[in-house]
Amino acid sequence: MSIRTGLIAAAAAVCLVTAAHAEGIQGRWSVGLQGGSDIELSGNVHEGGSGTVLQLPTNVTAKSFKDVYSPSFRAQLSIGYGVGQRSELSLRGSYYTMSSNTLQVGTVAGLPLNADFAEYKEWGVEGVFRQYLSDGRVKPYVAGVAGVRFLSKLPSTFSVPEASVVLPNVPFYDKSTVGVFGADLGLAYAISRNAEIGIETGPRYQTKPSRLNGLAGTGLESINDTGSRWSMPVLATVTFRF
C-alpha cells in the first residue's frame, strides 16, 4: 500500500468515526447523573452587630458560608429531551449538604463566643436549557439554569466556654423555599452512541432564606437578615441517551 493510499484510508476511517458520533440529539431522551461539590464564592451566614447576651456586652463578627461550613457534597439527577440537533431541555433534581465547623463568631464581655450551626441541607428542582457547541465526540456546551431550592431549618448552638454558658438550638433560619439562577459551562465526551462522561461548572445565585427571631431582645436581631449566596458547583457527569 502506498503512503497516499494509506493516508486516504486513515482519513476515511476518521470520517467514519466522526460521523458515527456526529448524530444530533433531537428527539432523544437522556438521563444524567452528576456529583461533586460547590465552591462558596460569596454570601454570609450572618452579619456583624453589637448587643447584649445574658445582660453582658456582646459583639458579633460577620461570617461567610466559607467560614462556617466545610466542603460540601452535591448529587443531581436529570431527565432531558433533545429539542434540536444540539439543544436540550432538562428537568433536574438535586440534593446538597454541608456540615459546619464550630468557630468563634464574637465575644461576650470579652470572652470568646462560639457558634455551631446545624447541618445545612437542601433539595432542589431546576429547569435547564443546554446548547452544545459541537456534535462530535468531544462536545463543549453552555446552559441556562433556573429553579427553586427547599432548605431545612437551620438552628445554631451558641456557647461561651470560659463561662460554661451554652444556648442550645437557637432558632436562626426557618424552612425556606428560595430561588436559584445561574449558568453552566461543560465538556462532554461520547464514549458510545448512548453514553457520555464529562465535567461541568458554572456560577449560581441563591436568594436568602426566611429568618427566625431567636435573638429577640439582644440587639442582634438583624444579624440573620442575610443568607443569599453565590457559589460555583464543580461536578463530574455521566449521561445516557435513548
Instruction: From first to last of the 242 residues of the chain, give the pLDDT tens digit.
Output: 454 444 344 344 434 334 444 568 999 999 999 999 999 999 999 999 999 998 999 999 999 999 999 889 999 999 999 999 999 999 999 999 999 989 999 999 999 999 999 999 999 999 999 999 998 899 999 999 999 999 999 999 999 999 999 999 999 999 999 999 999 999 999 999 999 999 999 999 999 999 999 999 999 999 999 999 999 999 999 999 99
Q: Determine the pLDDT at residue 2.
A: 52
The model's pTM is 0.85
- Domains of the chain in sequence order: 3-241 (2.40.160.20)
Placement of cell 456526529 in the chain? 22
Starting at the edge strand found earlier in the chain, the sheet holding 49-53 runs 49-53, 56-60, 103-108, 111-117, 154-160, 165-173
Residue 4 parent element (H or E): helix 3-20
Percent helix / strand / coil, the chain, rounded to 5 = 10, 60, 25
Nearest-10 Cα torsion for 36, 199, 81, 191? -120
Question: Strand, helix or coil at 107?
Answer: strand
Question: What is the DSSP-derived secondary structure letter of residue 136?
Answer: S
Q: What gap in Å lies between CA 223 and CA 113, rounded to an integer?
A: 15
